[in-house]
Structure formats: structure tokens, C-alpha cells
């Protein structure tokens, strides 16, 4: 079977500036982790053996490695301690960021003192939502929490594209729920997501009343369907290792039917925001109502008996009782462990995890070793410290790895080269509103249709089953590749790396990469050292000799260019190569 990374090469229109014979020049620095893993995993203490290993781990557990983050992990000496330290860092919340940073300009008061201005200036504050996200993922210390929150945002999707377009505070508050619960318990996360007015608005069950025989209306089925299909159990019954169960005829077995959907829809009647609106014409919600959990209005709740997966919710229950019982049924469903395990593995580590990998993580979801089900900290630790995560590139070269998402490529660029922000004045229709420091990465916010909380549908930015024909033939998927198309992110990425006047000038972007160390290497003609450095920080030691030789040849043959230009071109060539695009 062809190597997964080599398959990806043929899926990109990647052309080097020169073609060289792949004669070995620099030896790849890769350690064999087999012995380390076997000796260490029983005690859950897995040492960090090299900077390349540290960089690879951080590409999965954070928004990108940097010299400083690699060194911090090396100083700790093992991954477990890093995870534990990350779990203890106070989370960075997006609403709090906005209230701390958005200082009013002119006659506009500070946002924290004028909360209803979230509605008054909602169009402009959609930009602030992006600014907050980029600052937190680039500079926040709570990298693991934020990275898992982003992964969860791609499972329990809400989006600016739809009914939330004019509710930036509602969207940011929802993201804070993911941040708060990223390393908590999955059932609590599911509860908080279900009660958040952003989800209630996006999937149309906020203000969802029980059936009305006079009008012929029925409860909205939107959330009832998606909470099963996308958030918990999926479409088909699964073995504990994530493989579909089959009936006697060899067909997949559905996890639910239309009757289950209809009964689940009855559960989610009677919830609205704090204003109690059950009809659109009743009014407009306040900032408080947009950011606090929905409230139960039992008069609008269907109190009839409900049967879901052959389990009965007795008649006469309150809204909160029925919702809690229904969510618990989903939480305890045998599909939930493997379904969520696979989703998180795909988002963080590899697109094609083995059934054994999924099984090991699902077993931790089902029982963390201390009797707790749904312990997400234990699940994330199991994902990141699994043998397949740490040794997949060596053990499963045919299929291990994943395409880096556009947002994660840019966040890595900003982190690897310590991008500095600058004072920005948020302006809308010529009116200056707020000032705060940001990268101002907003005019280009649709990074190949991927912005924070900006998926086009509830099914996320890309399909989990997407693959070009060549990979379909190998039974492999590359979900993130669906975002790229033939042009890829590279035109925009190269514009940012090279400080293209169009991107920086048109959108007044202020992200300034710090390249002093890299320029010093070029000034000293230390091209091999520069490429070794980029290999460690960007590709985690996975850069091929062919790629290294090609870039070094380019640098040597274009030494008439400025040192800064050469550095930017070198970074561009690395980050647009398959060696980087495939995270391994």
C-alpha cells in the first residue's frame, strides 16, 4: 500500500522551484519509541526523547509548536506532566477577553459597561469574535484546553452562518461552554450545550412548544435528530472499536428511527431563553438572555410518555427532568464512547485510526479506571499518549496522519514565529467603536471557508468521510482536504508569510512575524541549520531529504535576495510542502 503522505502528494498541485536528485545530505532525527512505550505506558509516564517528538506531540495537543513550547516540554521531560499542568491552567474565556479588551472610542463606552451594545454593534462585534479567537489560540497558555475546545466545536457545531449571524455574544458564550467543559465530563458538556441559547437558536428548539392539535403544529425535530446523529451516537450501531455492527444480511443497523426522533423532539419542548419567548414577535433578547442557559417553561412542555431506544421516559415529567433523562440515555448508549473517541482522534491525531486505537480510547471513555464514565481529561490523555499517536508514523506509515486544517496552519505560523499584534480600532460604517490589540486577521477570515464558529452547515467545515478517488481506493479518508480544492490555502498562507501588500494593505492586517533568529542564520549562510530548525518547529522532524535539498538549493542559488526575503521564502516552501501539510 502506498505511503499516506505520498498519496497526499498527488492530491496537491505542489511544484518546487527546482528539481534535485534526492541524495542524502541530512540524516532525519527520529527515535524508535517502541521500547520507550512498552516500558513506560503501564505507569502512564512517557518521556520526551527529542525536540522532534516534542514538536509532533504539540502539533496534536496545541495550536502549534514553537521553540519555547518545545523547550518547556523538553524541560518537563514527560508528556503526562505537561497534560496535567495544562489541565490546571485557568481557561481563557472569549466573552471575558472581549470585556477586558474592548475599550470604547469617542462617545462609545467600554463594552463591559454597556452590555446591550452587543446588540447595538452586533455586526462589528462579529469581527471582535474572530480577533478574540486568534489572540487566545496564539498567545493563550491554556493550549490543550483551547485545542480540545476547537475540536469539540467541530463536533457540536454552531455557526455564524445562519440565525446567529447577529449574535456575536451568543456565539462567544457558547464557545466558552466548550472551553469550560473541554477537560470535564462529557455528560455535563452535553447538558450545557443543550441548554445554551446559541444551540437552541441554531438548531431551532429555543421557544419550541409542544404539539398543538388546533393548529396542527408539531415539536421541532432539528436538535432531536442532530444530538443523536452528530453529537453522541451516530447513524449506525457500532462495536466498541468503532466498526459498524451488521445484521444477518450483512447490512448496517440504524441507531434510531423516526419514532425515536419524534419522541426525542417532545423532550426538547418547553425551553426558551430567559425572556420566555415562544414566538418571534414577542421581543428581542437581552445580552443576559443570549449568554445564560435556557430556562424551562413547563406549560409549553410535552408531558406525555416518551420511548427512546426502547427506554421509557414516564409521563408527567418536567422539562428539566425529561431533558436530563434523555441526555443520560444518550450518554450511556454503547455507541457514544467509540463515536466520540473516533471523532476526537480524527480531529487531533489521525484521520484513519485503527479499530484497536478507537477501542482503547472508547474503553477509557466508558471507565477512566476510577469508575467515571465520560471523563474527557482521561479521554484526551488516552488519545494523545496512545501507542498509535506516538508511534503511528513508524508503525502505520501507510495511513497515519491527517491534513492540517487551514486555521491550524495559520495558528502554527503565528505561534512558531511569535507573531506580534498591534493596536486596532474597530470601525463600522465609518464609526470608530472600540480599540484593542489584535492581529486584525479578519478581512481574510474565511480561510478556505473555515473561520472560528463559521462552518457552512451543522455538519462542520468538511465531511468526516471525504477522500479523493486515489485514497478512496485505499479505504482512506482525508476530511480536511475537502477545504482545499485545487488551489489550497497556499496562496493566502504565502501572502501572510511573505507579508504580501494586498493581504496586509487591503485588510490592514497587523500580525508581525518575528524572524530575527532565522535571519541571523541566513546572514551566516547557515542554510542547513535553518532548515533543521524549520524541520523541528514546523514538520517535527518529518521533512524529507528531497524537500530539504530542494530548499537549500533554492537558498544557495538566490543569495542575491535579502536575508529576510530568503527566510520568508524558506518558511513558505516548508509550509506549502506535503511534508508539512500532512501532520504526522
pLDDT digits (tens, 9 = 90+) for 309-321: 999 999 999 999 9
Q: What is the pLDDT of residue 461?
A: 93
306 and 420 in a single domain? The answer is no
pLDDT digits (tens, 9 = 90+) for 467-500: 989 999 999 999 999 888 655 567 778 889 999 9
573 and 432 in a single domain? The answer is yes
C-alpha distances in Å from residue 15, one per residue of 10, 26, 391, 577: 11, 22, 30, 9
pLDDT above 90: percentage of residues in the chain: 82
Residue ending a domain, among 284, 313, 332, is 332
The answer to whether residue 305 is domain-embedded is: yes
The answer to whether residue 186 is domain-embedded is: no
pLDDT digits (tens, 9 = 90+) for 159-202: 999 999 999 999 999 999 999 999 999 999 999 999 999 999 99
The answer to whether residue 122 is domain-embedded is: no
The answer to whether residue 297 is domain-embedded is: yes
Q: What is the pLDDT of residue 214?
A: 87
Distance CA 89, CA 179 (A): 12
The answer to whether residue 173 is domain-embedded is: no
Nearest CA to 278 out of 224, 204, 214, 221 is that of 204
The answer to whether residue 567 is domain-embedded is: yes
547 and 412 in a single domain? The answer is yes
Out of 130-139, 482-491, 552-561, least confident range:
482-491
Residue ending a domain, among 295, 316, 332, is 332
420 and 533 in a single domain? The answer is yes
301 and 440 in a single domain? The answer is no
Indicate whether this model's pTM tops 0.85: yes
Distance CA 442, CA 493 (A): 14
The answer to whether residue 260 is domain-embedded is: yes
Mean pLDDT in residue range 367-385: 98
465 and 562 in a single domain? The answer is yes
462 and 546 in a single domain? The answer is yes
Return the C-alpha cell found at 338: 467509540
300 and 432 in a single domain? The answer is no
Distance CA 526, CA 519 (A): 10
Q: Exposure pattern of 105-135 as b/e (b: 16+ CB <10 Å)?
A: beebeebbeeeebbbebbebbbbbbbbbbbb
317 and 420 in a single domain? The answer is no
328 and 417 in a single domain? The answer is no
Range of the domain at 280: 222-332
Residue ending a domain, among 305, 332, 359, is 332
326 and 409 in a single domain? The answer is no
The answer to whether residue 446 is domain-embedded is: yes
Confidence band of 505 (pLDDT split at 50, 70, 90) = confident
Q: What is the pLDDT of residue 502?
A: 84
Structurally, the chain folds into a number of domains equal to: 2
Return the C-alpha cell found at 561: 535576495
548 and 415 in a single domain? The answer is yes
Amino acid at each position: 500500500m502506498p505511503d499516506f503522505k505520498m498519496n497526499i502528494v498527488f492530491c496537491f498541485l505542489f511544484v518546487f522551484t527546482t528539481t534535485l536528485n534526492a541524495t542524502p545530505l541530512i540524516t532525519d532525527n527520529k527515535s524508535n519509541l517502541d521500547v520507550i512505550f512498552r516500558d513506560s505506558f503501564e505507569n502512564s509516564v512517557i518521556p520526551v526523547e527529542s525536540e522532534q517528538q516534542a514538536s509532533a506531540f504539540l502539533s496534536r495537543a496545541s495550536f502549534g509548536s514553537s521553540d519555547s513550547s518545545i523547550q518547556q516540554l523538553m524541560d518537563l521531560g514527560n508528556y503526562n506532566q505537561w497534560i496535567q499542568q495544562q489541565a490546571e491552567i485557568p481557561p481563557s474565556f472569549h466573552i471575558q477577553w472581549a470585556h477586558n479588551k474592548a475599550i470604547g472610542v469617542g462617545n462609545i463606552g467600554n463594552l463591559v459597561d454597556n452590555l446591550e451594545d452587543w446588540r447595538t454593534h452586533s455586526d462589528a462585534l462579529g469581527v471582535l469574535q474572530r480577533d478574540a479567537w486568534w489572540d487566545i489560540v496564539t498567545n493563550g497558555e491554556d493550549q490543550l484546553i483551547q485545542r480540545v475546545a476547537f475540536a469539540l466545536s467541530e463536533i457540536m457545531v454552531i455557526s455564524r452562518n445562519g440565525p446567529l449571524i447577529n449574535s456575536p455574544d451568543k456565539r462567544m458564550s457558547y464557545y466558552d461552554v466548550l472551553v469550560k467543559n473541554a477537560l470535564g465530563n462529557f455528560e455535563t458538556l452535553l447538558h450545557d450545550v443543550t441548554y445554551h441559547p446559541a444551540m437552541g437558536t441554531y438548531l431551532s428548539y429555543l421557544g419550541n412548544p409542544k404539539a398543538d392539535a388546533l393548529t396542527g403544529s408539531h415539536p421541532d425535530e432539528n436538535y432531536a435528530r442532530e444530538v443523536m446523529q452528530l453529537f453522541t451516537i451516530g447513524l449506525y450501531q457500532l462495536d466498541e472499536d468503532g466498526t459498524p455492527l451488521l445484521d444477518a444480511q450483512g447490512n448496517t443497523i440504524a441507531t434510531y428511527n423516526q419514532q425515536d426522533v419524534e419522541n426525542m423532539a417532545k423532550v426538547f419542548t418547553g425551553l426558551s431563553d430567559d425572556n420566555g419567548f415562544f414566538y418571534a414577535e414577542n421581543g428581542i433578547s437581552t445580552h443576559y438572555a443570549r449568554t445564560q442557559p435556557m430556562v424551562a417553561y413547563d406549560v409549553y412542555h410535552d408531558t406525555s410518555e416518551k420511548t427512546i431506544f426502547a427506554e421509557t421516559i414516564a409521563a408527567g415529567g418536567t422539562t428539566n427532568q425529561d431533558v436530563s433523562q434523555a441526555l443520560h440515555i444518550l450518554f450511556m448508549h454503547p455507541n457514544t464512547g467509540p463515536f466520540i473517541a473516533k471523532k476526537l482522534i480524527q480531529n487531533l491525531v489521525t484521520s484513519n485510526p485503527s479499530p484497536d486505537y478507537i477501542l482503547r480510547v472508547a474503553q477509557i471513555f466508558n471507565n477512566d479506571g476510577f469508575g467515571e464514565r465520560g471523563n474527557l481529561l482521561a479521554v484526551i490523555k488516552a488519545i494523545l499518549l496512545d501507542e498509535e499517536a506516538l508511534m503511528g508514523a513508524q508503525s502505520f506509515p501507510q495511513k497515519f496522519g491527517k491534513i492540517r486544517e487551514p486555521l491550524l496552519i495559520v495558528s502554527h505560523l503565528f505561534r512558531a514565529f511569535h507573531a506580534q499584534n498591534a493596536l486596532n480600532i474597530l470601525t463600522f460604517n465609518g464609526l470608530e467603536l472600540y480599540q484593542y490589540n489584535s492581529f486584525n486577521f479578519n478581512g481574510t477570515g474565511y480561510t478556505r471557508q473555515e473561520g472560528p464558529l463559521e462552518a457552512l452547515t451543522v455538519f462542520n467545515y468538511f465531511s468526516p468521510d471525504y477522500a479523493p478517488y486515489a485514497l478512496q481506493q485505499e479505504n482512506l479518508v482525508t476530511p480536511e482536504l475537502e477545504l482545499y480544492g485545487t488551489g489550497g490555502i497556499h496562496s493566502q498562507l504565502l501572502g501572510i508569510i511573505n507579508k504580501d501588500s494586498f493581504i496586509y494593505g487591503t485588510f490592514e492586517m497587523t500580525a508581525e512575524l518575528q524572524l530575527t533568529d532565522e535571519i541571523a542564520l541566513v546572514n551566516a549562510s547557515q542554510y542547513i541549520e535553518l532548515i533543521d530548525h524549520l524541520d523541528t518547529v514546523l514538520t517535527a522532524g518529518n521533512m524529507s531529504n528531497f524537500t530539504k535539498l530542494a530548499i537549500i538549493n533554492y537558498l544557495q542559488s538566490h543569495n542575491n535576495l535579502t536575508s529576510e526575503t530568503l527566510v520568508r521564502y524558506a518558511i513558505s516552501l516548508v509550509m506549502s510542502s506535503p511534508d508539512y501539510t500532512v501532520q504526522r
